[in-house]
Structure 1
Amino acid sequence: MKHRVIKENDLFFLTDESGDIPPGSTDGCGLYTQDTRFLSRLELSINGVKPILLESSAETNCQAVFRLTNPHMEEEGQVKLWRETVEIMRHRFIQDGVLYESIAYTNYGPKTVGFETSITVDADFADMFTVRGIKAGMIGSVTGKSVDADRIAIRYAGADGIARETRIAWNIPADRVSPDGTVTFAVELKPREVRTIELTVTPVIADKAPQAKPREEALRLLDASYRRWEQGSTSVDSDLEIFNKLYHRGMRDLRMLLTDLGHGPFPVAGLPWYAVPFGRDSLIAALQMLPANPEVALGTLRTMAVYQGSKVDPWRDETPGKIMHEIRYGELANTNQIPFTPYYGSVDSTPLFVVLAIEYYRWTGDLGAIRELMPALERALEWIDQSGDLDGDGFVEYHSVSSGGIANQGWKDSGDSIVHASGDFAETPIALAEVQGYVYLAKTGMAEIFRKLGRNAEAEALERAAADMKRRFEQSFWMADESFYAIALDREKRQVQSVTSNPGHLLMTGLPDENRAELVARRLTAEDMFSGYGIRTMSEKSTGYNPMSYHNGSVWPHDNSLCLIGMSRMGFIEQALKVTRGLMRAAEHFEYARLPELFCGYEDTLGRPVPYPVACSPQAWAAGTPLIFLQVFLGLDPDVPDGIIRLRPALPEGMNRLSVRQLRVGSGTLSLTVTRREGNAVPEVEVEHNSTGCELRVLHAIHQDVQN
């Protein structure tokens, strides 16, 4: 079933294409906040019949529109309502914790018509984990439903001691309100007459109720917030329309997915299942957003620091200094039936926290923020060397001790994702290749920051540890017969000899030997790894390959984007452009030109990418992928602390002009246009504005001899 979803801050609404939540829906439709479903049924009818859908769209993310009409209606041979006489327009949005919906009925018939229209509502207050079918348990109950001519209230007493309530109100008196939650209006319309019913739905938690505003005021405030986002973010325009669509779509999706828990904006992972803070996902999405809006990176870092692990708690896989994996706020979490309060079962969130801080500093030069975050950064470094290294071998491993935890704790966290060439699953503790890269970058990057702060001895210690790790990594992870790095080392320190995308992340970290890095870049874009639409998560030649799987042969845009950062930085331009072309071709086949969380890894000879059936869309780190395209096309590599911005522009096939406005770097912005003229292989750069405080250096591409 196709869905329509809108979100604003912590409230989101998922319905079918007609705008309804059908009773007994198994697709998770509902109105959610704090991991609780506050509306589990919403059905619109005309004379007791579901209207016919003409079209619907949630393209703007903050608003959704649905155009419907009536079916033909006869009773005992008499026409009650001729088909397609009444147009029904539903328009909805969310603002400041309240859902607003208007339903406008227009008579396009030549005569006056009369009909009844009904709206049926209900709320089950189900926990998100229950909706997803993951966990049932001790829960509360609905304690009452009050019904009036202009409102319905449904109340719930949670097992966690929290009272929850859903309040539904409408602007004109109903003709009937049934105890089951059906609200009926009698409507009479002259030709071309319009009548509008307006509703609000307000979730209430612990007697804290957002205040509904007049509809037009609420809509004006919502529109203004999106304008501020666009005006304060980097904008692009090119002569390649699919890139323009992708970038604009990504920016709007990221704005939709922003939430603020009081420490600054940060992106939640994705809709519908992951509209909560995720360590890994939020950190990577914020990293992708640095060229567009670095304030999001700072908000993400501050949020993660607040929830940093402080004790040893096996139930939550928590240890001191560790950055969380995921936090939940629903009834099951609050009653400790699931460990997500928060849960710490990800091995990469902690080094990625340090990496984001380093990259934020390179983009902004904001040493004040680094000083503010330093206690959390130091605790994260301690975790890497202590709790993160489970056996003292100098590599960071994972092993879950929680009975309710996640077995595989890298980004490929499905149970079958770390598989030997024999087909056997690797046993924990497991050391993932890309995690060692994040650790290496964390140590070398923090060494540079320590030097800026005059902490030279600590800088030297980190550099020695990083150099030793680099040597041991090459010895332990390199598969000579594949000319590629193993995805992991298992419990016995044996290589997990699958060829996967994970080592592609190493390219951005500086860990791999340069010659081996080139071999990695080549393999990632070779036929067995590259589907034509993107880099697969696993090679067609590896034992575990399955193009329909979640992690063993599918294509994940964010995974590609992390490979792209490294390809661009190391100058593997042809491979980088090949990957961006593939993903742009894929995007043309998805609704709104929106890259989903993932899609199947079938060859592009099919003529279209094959969707993955339960992919989240929008997903934050998929939405952030086009922002990495911008970095690739500009060859953008800022080093604000040293006062330098490096550009190595390389435009993809079909793009001969790329204009960038308000690129957020350093203390100001950069606006420029890159142009490729006929007969000139090197693009020209025209700088229109530079208030960054940095010198701009335009370099020539390297590694251009590498073949696709």
Structure 2
Amino acid sequence: MTRQPRLDDLLITVAGTSVLITTADRRVGGGATGVLHGDRRVLSRIDVECPGQVETRRSLTPTSLVEDITVTGGAGSRLRVVLASDLAGVEDIKSGAEPVSVDPSPPLQWAAGGIGCVVTAPGARVEGSSLVWDIGEQHFTARWSATFHDASGLHHSAGKVVHSPTTSHPRLSTVVTRGVDDLNALALSDGENAFAAAGAPWYLTLFGRDSIWAARLALPVSLDLAAGTLRALARLQGREHDPATAEEPGKIPHELRRGPFELDGMRLPALYYGTVDATPLWACLLHDAWRAGLPDDQVRELLPALKAALAWTAGHDTFLRYVDRTGTGLANQGWKDSPDAVRFPDGTRAAAPIALCEVQSYAHEALTRGADLLDAFGEPDPSLRERAARLRADFRAAFWVDGFPALAVDGTGRPVGQVTSNAGHLVGTGLLTREEEALVVARLRRPDLLGPFGLRTLSTGSAVHDPLSYHCGSTWPHDTAITARALAADFPEEAADIALRLLAAADRDGELPELLGGQVTRTPYPSSCHPQAWSAAAGVSVLWRLLGLEVDVPARVLRVRPPRPLPLGPFEAAGIRLAGGELSVRVGDSVEVDAPAGFEVRT
């Protein structure tokens, strides 16, 4: 395994497919720092050299980086900006490889694989890969810019697609606003449809599971993002069987890149379908988006894709399982996709084909909610609920170990009896009885799983627990938010208690990273991406848990049932976009709601 460069102490700015990564003092050079565009580092070094007092200001857009430089007291000297580019691909940067500079083409530009940048600087001369100005006055200003190009045109900035609600609680406001800002920064488009790229800097592209959960957690304010995500993924939905890419008819892809991705012996094709959960999750998102107000004509256009996704989901014998048949793909194909994520208590890795517990709950929800959706549009399919009922019975027989759902069942039918956060995803999907859900909720809230910053991925009581592992003891904000969302309907107080921990997990500026260490003190995970789309959406979702908000636009019903007692005390929320209008809520001893016309409000 390669040693990935640290990201937790770096400043990362995203604009479309462009990323600026600097040290805390805004230096560029070494490690993962640099300017990336389209998954390629177009500048690996930026040094400003001048004997005077220097102030710099950089601005990043989807197509350029501009740096303004002010020099005081440098008359008679020279200002030099030293640039370099290694044109490294994102997988090379992630591997920790040191930059090896590439000579520029004249006058000053770099390009490889159709991606590159052109540097211009009025009044400067080019010396090698440096820009040089002669300073003739005590107060001197200069500007240089790097303009990016990407011949593939694969993705473009989508601009602002999520509108931020406001809230009167300062910390909640900081986290929600930052979550919306990060979602908008990560919003890309395939030319027609907006979606959230998974995260920066490694995953700045369409990822089935990640993009779906980002849109789903932020609903209803992410409705445009949900619609774009659904359409973008439907355009890539599998049509044939191809073992090399894991494509299958009806299957939703895992990720889309400009070319093959190679790291640690893994080689993923540009369009890769190695995910077991994106397909049922796509169906769940379509149902949720419809309930949040996606117009009927847009839903109807997606019904063929829904039927194909449900056919894929229902077509598995017993459980939804995965296996990498190439030997160079992902060995694990759920959200915990690191090689050691699915292990027995003695540390032995589970053998494929593997059935994950949460994936069965996604399948059950997809089948039942998909059936509801088809009923509503006059195209009923009774077989979907029948298949869901069989899955429910089979799950009960195969997964329960000592009063808790196993993490997975391996290829021999043996349950992987680890106590993990995955079980939280099962609640509210219909896979469990209410009594079983209560058992799961009680177990999740014990301190070996529930820490001060959210749910640990694996119980501290496990022999293989490691708080700084990727998936075996760390804490992921999106995972915590999914469980809080799952508990909201029937366990609102518990849901709010879990969601509130995300306010502590966020940094002082409100940003939630990809993951944190699972310790009892806030411990950054060294190579954690930020911003990360589903983490950003997790921050937004805290507001929904504290409001107890549930919307059903087709039925024109709005429920606002905050947990009692109020965890943060009385507060107000406004500017929540809903059904072409805006929703405002004041929560205190009573609940006051100002909703768009025509809604029945239930409190």
Q: Same fold by TM (over 0.5)?
A: yes
Q: C-alpha deviations, 1:490-536, integer Å up to 9, x for none?
A: 00111100000001011131211111101111111111111222111
| Within-5 A mapping of 1:49-68 | none
| Alignment correspondent of 1:201 | 146
For 1:235 and 1:609, locate their aligned partners in 2 and report how far apart those are by CA, in whole Å.
27
After superposing on structure 2, the runs of 4+ consecutive aligned residues of structure 1 that deviate more than 6 Å are none
| Within-5 A mapping of 1:49-448 | 86=53, 88-107=54-73, 113-133=75-95, 145-147=105-107, 152-156=108-112, 158=113, 163-174=114-125, 177-179=126-128, 181-190=129-138, 193=139, 195-206=140-151, 233-239=163-169, 241-330=170-259, 338-386=267-315, 389=316, 392=317, 394-448=318-372
Q: C-alpha deviations, 1:193-227, integer Å up to 9, x for none?
A: 3x32112111234499x9xxxxxxxxxxx9xx97x
> Secondary structure in 2 aligned to 1:563?
helix
For 2:366 and 2:599, locate their aligned partners in 1 and report how far apart those are by CA, in whole Å.
24
Q: Is residue 584 from structure 1 mapped to residue 503 from structure 2 by the alignment? A: yes
CA gap 1:602/1:154 in 2 versus in 1, 3 angstroms: closer
Q: C-alpha deviations, 1:237-262, integer Å up to 9, x for none?
A: 123x2111111111111111111111
Q: C-alpha deviations, 1:298-318, integer Å up to 9, x for none?
A: 011111111112222222122
Q: C-alpha deviations, 1:411-459, integer Å up to 9, x for none?
A: 0011111111232111010001101111111111111111112223x1x
CA positional deviation for 1:155 = 4.3
For 1:296 and 1:164, locate their aligned partners in 2 and report how far apart those are by CA, in whole Å.
27
For 2:239 and 2:47, locate their aligned partners in 1 and report how far apart those are by CA, in whole Å.
47
CA positional deviation for 1:143 = 8.2
| Alignment correspondent of 1:472 | 394
For 2:324 and 2:567, locate their aligned partners in 1 and report how far apart those are by CA, in whole Å.
48
Q: Which runs of 5+ in 2 are unaligned?
A: 1-5
CA positional deviation for 1:19 = 3.1
Q: Is residue 627 from structure 1 mapped to residue 540 from structure 2 by the alignment? A: yes
CA gap 1:167/1:453 in 2 versus in 1, 3 angstroms: same
| Alignment correspondent of 1:568 | 488
TM-score for both structures, normalised by structure 1? 0.79
Q: Is the 8 A contact 1:238 1:655 kept in 2?
A: no
For 1:164 and 1:639, locate their aligned partners in 2 and report how far apart those are by CA, in whole Å.
45
Pick from 677, 683, 686 the counterpart of residue 592 of structure 2. Answer: 686
CA positional deviation for 1:189 = 4.3
Q: Is the 8 A contact 2:11 2:21 kept in 1?
A: yes
For 1:207 and 1:579, locate their aligned partners in 2 and report how far apart those are by CA, in whole Å.
43
Q: Is the 8 A contact 1:440 1:466 kept in 2?
A: yes
CA gap 1:325/1:424 in 2 versus in 1, 3 angstroms: same
CA positional deviation for 1:113 = 5.0
| Alignment correspondent of 1:462 | 384
> Secondary structure in 2 aligned to 1:592?
coil
Q: C-alpha deviations, 1:374-402, integer Å up to 9, x for none?
A: 1211111121133xx2xx2x210000112
Q: Which runs of 5+ in 1 are unaligned?
A: 48-80, 211-221, 677-683, 699-708
Structure 2 counterpart of 1:580, one-letter code:
A
CA gap 1:123/1:294 in 2 versus in 1, 3 angstroms: same
Structure 2 counterpart of 1:622, one-letter code:
S
Q: Is the 8 A contact 1:36 1:330 kept in 2?
A: no
For 1:130 and 1:96, locate their aligned partners in 2 and report how far apart those are by CA, in whole Å.
22
CA gap 1:414/1:317 in 2 versus in 1, 3 angstroms: same
Higher-Rg member (1/2) = 1
Structure 1 counterpart of 2:553, one-letter code:
V
| Alignment correspondent of 2:454 | 534
| Alignment correspondent of 1:645 | 558
TM-score for both structures, normalised by structure 2? 0.92
| Alignment correspondent of 1:12 | 19
Q: C-alpha deviations, 1:626-664, integer Å up to 9, x for none?
A: 221111111112222222122211267662233222323
Q: Is the 8 A contact 1:338 1:404 kept in 2?
A: yes
> Secondary structure in 2 aligned to 1:672?
strand
> Secondary structure in 2 aligned to 1:314?
coil
CA positional deviation for 1:686 = 1.3
Q: Is the 8 A contact 1:168 1:200 kept in 2?
A: yes
Q: C-alpha deviations, 1:26-54, integer Å up to 9, x for none?
A: x222222222222222222224xxxxxxx
Structure 1 counterpart of 2:133, one-letter code:
F
CA gap 1:172/1:687 in 2 versus in 1, 3 angstroms: same
> Secondary structure in 2 aligned to 1:538?
coil
For 2:199 and 2:428, locate their aligned partners in 1 and report how far apart those are by CA, in whole Å.
24
For 1:207 and 1:620, locate their aligned partners in 2 and report how far apart those are by CA, in whole Å.
23
CA positional deviation for 1:8 = 1.5
Pick from 517, 528, 536 the counterpart of residue 600 of structure 1. Answer: 517
CA gap 1:659/1:651 in 2 versus in 1, 3 angstroms: farther
For 1:207 and 1:385, locate their aligned partners in 2 and report how far apart those are by CA, in whole Å.
36
Q: Is the 8 A contact 1:238 1:657 kept in 2?
A: no
CA gap 1:364/1:135 in 2 versus in 1, 3 angstroms: farther
Structure 2 counterpart of 1:42, one-letter code:
I
Pick from 657, 682, 696 the counterpart of residue 601 of structure 2. Answer: 696
Structure 2 counterpart of 1:597, one-letter code:
E
Q: Is the 8 A contact 1:671 1:690 kept in 2?
A: no
RMSD over aligned CA atoms reads 2.6
Q: C-alpha deviations, 1:321-373, integer Å up to 9, x for none?
A: 1111111114768xxx9433211111111111111101001111522111111
Structure 2 counterpart of 1:417, one-letter code:
A
Q: Is residue 41 from structure 1 mapped to residue 7 from structure 2 by the alignment? A: no
For 2:224 and 2:453, locate their aligned partners in 1 and report how far apart those are by CA, in whole Å.
32
How many residues align structurally?
590
CA gap 1:635/1:472 in 2 versus in 1, 3 angstroms: same
CA gap 1:475/1:411 in 2 versus in 1, 3 angstroms: same
Q: C-alpha deviations, 1:125-147, integer Å up to 9, x for none?
A: 222122222999xxxx9686213
CA gap 1:15/1:476 in 2 versus in 1, 3 angstroms: same
CA positional deviation for 1:265 = 1.4
Q: Is the 8 A contact 1:34 1:328 kept in 2?
A: no
Q: Is the 8 A contact 2:42 2:110 kept in 1?
A: no
For 1:566 and 1:9, locate their aligned partners in 2 and report how far apart those are by CA, in whole Å.
31
Q: Is the 8 A contact 2:45 2:82 kept in 1?
A: yes
Q: C-alpha deviations, 1:90-121, integer Å up to 9, x for none?
A: 222233412222122245xxxx7543221111
Pick from 469, 486, 491 the counterpart of residue 406 of structure 2. Answer: 486
Q: Is the 8 A contact 1:127 1:332 kept in 2?
A: no
For 1:271 and 1:428, locate their aligned partners in 2 and report how far apart those are by CA, in whole Å.
31
